[in-house]
Structures are given as structure tokens and as C-alpha cells.
Structure 1
């Protein structure tokens, strides 16, 4: 179980118990032990967003195609995804937990591609 800063880059994952913390520490993205990926407000522990996935040992990955995916423990079944997979994605794409509670996938120009508050950005 580890806090991994406020962002993930392509190929990085959150295993059960791992989390991201927003820069000011107000929000936490946690890959829970029960398999649900959840953003919590740290002030009152309220849920801001969740993937609605279940299964001990699930993990989340920002794939090399730019899709953010929650997988079953074996990595064979995607349980939830951001629908942002593309054939060619810059290695500089990343996902960040912001201080406004929004989890956002950015492309290298810092244009948002997906957000937990709004989904896929056209």
C-alpha cells in the first residue's frame, strides 16, 4: 500500500491499497481492498466518485494506449475503463487527481481527454 503522489503516467498502476493524493491533500483516489476505485474528500471521507467495481485484488492501470482501466486480479477482465484508448498515444499522457476533486487524463498539450466529473472530452 502506497501513496503515489498526485498522478500516474502511462504504464503505472494502482494496486489494492494504493492511492493518489491531490496536491494540497484534500482528495484521495484509493484502489480499495474490495476492488472499488474511489475518490474521497479527506475532510469528511465522503465519496466524490467511484468506479462501482468489486473484487478483492482488482487494480487500475493507465495503459500504453491511454485508457485508464480497472482490471480483475488476474488482469484478464477489464471491469471499468475511461474509454480513452487510442492506437497511438504520446508517452507524455498522464492522469492527475486535482484539488477540485476531479481525476483528469491529460494529453501532452495539457488538454483534458477524460475527467471523473464529465467523462470523455470530445
Structure 2
């Protein structure tokens, strides 16, 4: 039987104490950035002096600008190196892992949170369709996109549809299909599991008590590693630039361009 130890609401809980997040670099915002952050767009409320905890539809963060939780413990900053980072004090606890200088973080009116370098999107939450949604930096350390009914459309533990080349999947994060019916869950016990409708496991790598994290390598191989960085399971695919996708039919695939080169064969389960 496949364990789903981390399934359900526990996946959405705050990151476990002691967990670490490796980011390319961390640039802590200074007081000098507070003024532009409070007026990061023309649509920001006039006369605002405090740093907001929200990024509203149409608003954006340019390099050096940020949003901060109401309790002042957590700051989401758009760094000058192109990485959007959530920090507590001087500790990074989440990052977009995008290193494109002069990038901008945009809360689009269609509900999609996007990082754009020039005119090229380099990262997105995949929440387009939630028109009028906004982003909140919460007091509990979570980043959440809420739709107009104040229902959560995304949080920082969710990766939507595609795990890009060079990206990791660590507990309690999960890769979701666009219809939210399926998720690929990296569990705290090291097992990588496809879960249907939040409760039913349909596939796993069988790396329970062994694995530490999964990564979509730049060489096109999707691999589960132990905490000691020993490879335990892989798709055995070699196509530089391939990505991993969780499809709406329940099939997990490695895709090169538009061509599937590996599949979990779980379509329709």
C-alpha cells in the first residue's frame, strides 16, 4: 500500500522547523527600499506610507521592492538578481529560483502571478482564470493567492502543472494538475506519490524512508535523491531542457518540447 503520510491539509501547513531552502543569493531589503515598495505601481493607494502585505491586481514589484506581513516577520522581496525571495530576518524560506537580472514580479489581472524578464515570462503560479485575485504575505509565513471570493487559489507549497528544468520538489511541496484533481506529493518519509482527489494514492516511487527530495535535472532526468544526495529512483530520460508535468488526466510525464519521453502510465486512474 502506498503511504500518503503528508496528504491533505498537512501539506499546506507551515514549513517544518529546521527545514532549509537553498537559494542562489539573498539580498535583504534596506529601509531605503521602503518608499518605492509602498508605491510600487500607479494603482497603489495614494498616500500609503506603510509597506503593504498585499500585491493587488495590476500591481508589481520591481528589483528592490517588497511586501511585508502585518506582523513584520516575513518579507517578500524582488531581488536585483531576478529572484523573488520570502525571508524571515536574514533567512530565506522560499524562492522563485529565477536568476534573471532586472526581472519584475507582476500580479496580473487574470489572477496569474508572473515573473517577467524583459518581455519573457520566466516563472508563474499558473493561476490564470482567477480574475481579480491578489497575493498576500501572511503572518504564518505563507504566500497565498486569494480569488475574489477569498478562496485560496495558490500557496507557496504548490507548483502548478510544470516542474521546470533544474527545479526541486521537497516536502511539503507538491506538483498539481491544472484541474487540482491530481498532485505529485513529496512526502516527509521520502516517498514520491501521485494522489487523486487529495486522498487516494495511485502511484509512487517506493522510496519510503529513503528519499530526501526530487529534482528535474537540467539533463532531462527526473530523480529522487536521499538526504545524502544518493540517487534512489529516476525516469532514465536524457533530453537537456525537458520538464515534468502533472496532467489533468492523472498522468505524470516528462516532456521534451511537446514530445512526452516518459510517463507514469496513470492516465484515468
2:251 paired residue among 98, 102, 105: 102
Kindly report structure 1 stretches of 4+ aligned residues shifted beyond 3 Å: none
TM-score (norm 2): 0.39
1:23-70 Cα offsets, whole Å, 9 max, x none, are 011001100011000001016x11111000023661000011100000
Whether 2:226 is the aligned partner of 1:72: answer: yes
Relative to structure 1, the CA distance from residue 33 to residue 58 in structure 2 (aligned partners, 3 Å threshold; closer, same or farther) is same
The one of the two structures with greater contact order (alpha-carbon pairs below 8 A, sep at least 6) is 1
**What residue number does 1:55 align with?**
209
Q: Superposition RMSD on alpha carbons, in Å? A: 1.6
TM-score (norm 1): 0.84
The whole-number CA distance in structure 1 between the counterparts of 2:170 and 2:238 is 21
Whether 2:264 is the aligned partner of 1:111: answer: no
Relative to structure 1, the CA distance from residue 31 to residue 84 in structure 2 (aligned partners, 3 Å threshold; closer, same or farther) is same
Secondary structure at the aligned position of 2:160 is classed as coil
| Structure with larger Rg | 2
Per-residue deviation at 1:85?
2.8
Give the number of aligned pairs. 111
Superposition map of 1:13-92 within 5 A: 13-42=168-197, 45-55=199-209, 58-75=212-229, 77-85=230-238, 89=240, 91=241
Secondary structure at the aligned position of 1:13 is classed as strand
**Which ranges of structure 1 fall in alignment gaps of 5 or more residues?**
none
Relative to structure 1, the CA distance from residue 57 to residue 112 in structure 2 (aligned partners, 3 Å threshold; closer, same or farther) is closer
The whole-number CA distance in structure 2 between the counterparts of 1:18 and 1:55 is 17
